[in-house]
């Protein structure tokens, strides 16, 4: 590491500590002046090192504090102010993206959320697709319907869950049709992807979006994707973001492999991952 790189790393760490101590997100200009970097360079270097912008880092940290307080039993109002938001309206501006539900519903383990789901048979096994009123919340592969239904219950223990038949829920049918087209077990026009309702940090969203840009039939290693996102040495962070994905096939984390090219793991089974990649490579070839 050169002396200049060391100085930059120290400046970025100072910026991060300033953000963590700030009640309100400091402006980019203020933050840059405090650490003696230009605003443009700070924005670029901070994203390269931490995976998010300074503003996104501040917001994600506040939401993590809010989640911790809610899990510990604090009221929504107390948790909002303890996390430094100042008002509940600012939380709700971003709660759909970072919680996947309102703070009150999150605190209650998903209570109040109405989940509708269906299952279907695919060449990779049974597929379960679940939706809330906001969008798709789960796409899961497994061996049996019972296994998938139990997994859904474990993930959303306090939500109401209703099984619906094919043709009764537009969003569920749209996801199944899209996956059927990609796997080639049905041949029909692939509809647009419905909105998503999943809880994720800004960094996880960034990784998931990058995964969707990996072409069918191709793979990248954790390290390659980390470098592509400007995060050299961030392979483990990429792996954690992939591991938190619960939208099988929609977010194609199966296209990520180890540095030596071996498959590594996959939440829905390494044998399914192998079969899926082989199918995609045949289609792309």
Distance between CA 99 and CA 63 in Å, rounded? 9
Under a CB-based contact definition with an 8 Å cutoff, are residues 115 and 131 in contact?
yes
Q: How far is Cα 83 from Cα 71, in angstroms, rounded to an integer?
A: 13
The reply to whether 69 and 137 lie within a common domain is no
pLDDT of residue 186: 61
Residue 98 sits in the same domain as residue 123? no
- Inside any domain, residue 194: no
pLDDT at 75 over 80: no
Q: In which residue are the tokens 């960094």 written?
A: 203
- Closest by alpha carbon to 248, among 114, 142, 146, 109? 142
- Does residue 192 sit within a domain? no
Question: Quick check: 264 and 243 in contact, CB under 8 A?
Answer: no
Q: 225 in a domain, yes or no?
A: yes
Does residue 191 lie in a domain region? no
Question: Is the same domain home to 167 and 144?
Answer: yes
Answer yes or no: do 238 and 279 share one domain: yes
pLDDT above 90 covers a percentage of the chain that reads: 31
119: CB partners within 8 A, 6+ apart: 126, 127, 128, 129, 145, 148, 149, 163
- DSSP per-residue codes, 201-262: -HHHHHHHHHHTTSPTT--EEHHHHHHHTT-TT-HHHHHHHHHT--BTTTS-GGGEE-TTS-
What is the model's pLDDT at position 78? 56
Mean pLDDT (the chain) is 79
Identify whether 8 is part of a domain: yes
Alpha-carbon dihedral 14, 19, 20, 23, rounded to 10 degrees? 140
Which pLDDT score is estimated for 86? 47
Which residues are the active-site residues?
Answer: 253
Taking only the tens place, the pLDDT of each residue in 121-144 is: 999 999 999 988 777 888 999 999
**CATH number of the domain to which 176 belongs:** 3.30.160.70
Q: Do 135 and 223 sit in the same domain of this protein?
A: no
CATH number, domain containing residue 71: 1.10.10.60
Q: How far apart are CA 65 and CA 76, in angstroms?
A: 12
Do 250 and 221 fall into the same domain? yes
Contacts of residue 209, defined as CB under 8 A and 6 or more positions apart, other chains included, come to none
Domain that holds residue 234: 202-284
195 belongs to a structural domain: no
Q: Would you state the pLDDT for residue 68?
A: 58
Quote the CA–CA distance of 126 and 196 in Å, as a whole number.
21
Same domain flag for 171 and 239: no
Q: Which residues pair with 196 in a beta bridge?
A: 136
- Continuous H helices in the chain: 3-21, 28-35, 39-50, 54-71, 76-82, 88-98, 103-107, 145-155, 170-183, 202-211, 222-228, 235-243, 270-284
Q: Smallest Cα–Cα separation from 151: which of 129, 169, 172?
A: 129
Neighbours of 233 (CB within 10 A): 10
Same-domain check for residues 99 and 47: yes
Q: What is the pLDDT of residue 242?
A: 92
- Is 189 among the domain residues? no
Q: Which of 59, 77, 107 is the last residue of a domain?
A: 107
Choose from 4-8, 31-35, 110-114 the range with maximum mean pLDDT.
Answer: 31-35
Q: Which residue has the higher pLDDT, 69 or 117?
A: 117
Strand partners, 116: 131, 162
pLDDT band at residue 87 under the 50/70/90 scheme: very low
Q: Tell me if 19 is assigned to some domain.
A: yes
Do 259 and 165 lie in one domain? The reply is no
Q: Is the pTM of this model over 0.85?
A: no
Residue that terminates a domain, selected from 127, 148, 183:
183
Q: Whole-angstrom Cα distance, residue 96 to residue 75? A: 19
Tell me the pLDDT tens digit for each residue of 194-251: 777 776 667 788 888 889 889 988 999 999 999 988 888 888 889 988 998 989 998 9
Domain count, the chain: 3
16 and 95 share one domain:
yes
User: How many other C-beta atoms lie within 10 A of the C-beta of residue 18?
Assistant: 16
Q: Indicate whether 149 pLDDT > 90.
A: yes
Residue 92: band (very low, low, confident or very high) from pLDDT cuts 50, 70, 90: very low
Residues 223, 172 within the same domain: no
Quick one: 82 and 23 in the same domain? Answer: yes
Q: What CATH number does residue 260 fall under?
A: 1.10.10.10
């Amino acid at each position: 590491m050169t002396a200049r790189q060391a100085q930059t790393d120290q400046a970025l760490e100072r910026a991060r500590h300033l953000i963590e101590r700030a009640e309100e997100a400091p402006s980019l200009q203020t933050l840059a002046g405090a650490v003696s970097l230009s605003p443009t360079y700070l924005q670029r270097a901070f994203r390269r090192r931490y995976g998010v912008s300074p503003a996104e880092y501040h917001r994600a940290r506040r939401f993590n504090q809010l989640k911790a307080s809610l899990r510990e039993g604090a009221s929504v109002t107390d948790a909002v102010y303890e996390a430094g938001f100042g008002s509940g309206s600012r939380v709700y501006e971003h709660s759909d993206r970072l919680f996947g539900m309102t703070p009150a519903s999150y605190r209650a383990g998903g209570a109040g959320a109405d989940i509708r789901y269906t299952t279907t048979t695919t060449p990779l096994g049974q597929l379960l697709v679940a939706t809330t009123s906001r969008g798709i919340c789960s796409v899961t592969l497994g061996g049996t319907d019972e296994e998938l239904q139990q997994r859904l219950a474990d993930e959303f223990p306090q939500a109401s869950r209703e099984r619906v038949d094919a043709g009764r829920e537009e969003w569920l049918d749209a996801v199944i049709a899209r996956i059927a087209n990609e796997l080639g077990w049905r041949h029909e026009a692939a509809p647009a992807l419905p909105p998503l309702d999943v809880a994720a940090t800004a960094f996880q969203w960034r990784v998931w979006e990058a995964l969707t840009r990996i072409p069918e039939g191709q793979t990248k290693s954790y390290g390659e994707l980390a470098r592509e996102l400007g995060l050299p040495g961030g392979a483990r962070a990429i792996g954690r973001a992939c591991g938190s994905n619960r939208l099988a096939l929609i977010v194609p984390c199966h296209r990520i492999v180890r540095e030596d090219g071996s498959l590594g793991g996959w939440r829905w089974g390494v044998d399914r991952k192998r079969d899926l990649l082989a199918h995609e490579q045949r289609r792309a070839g």
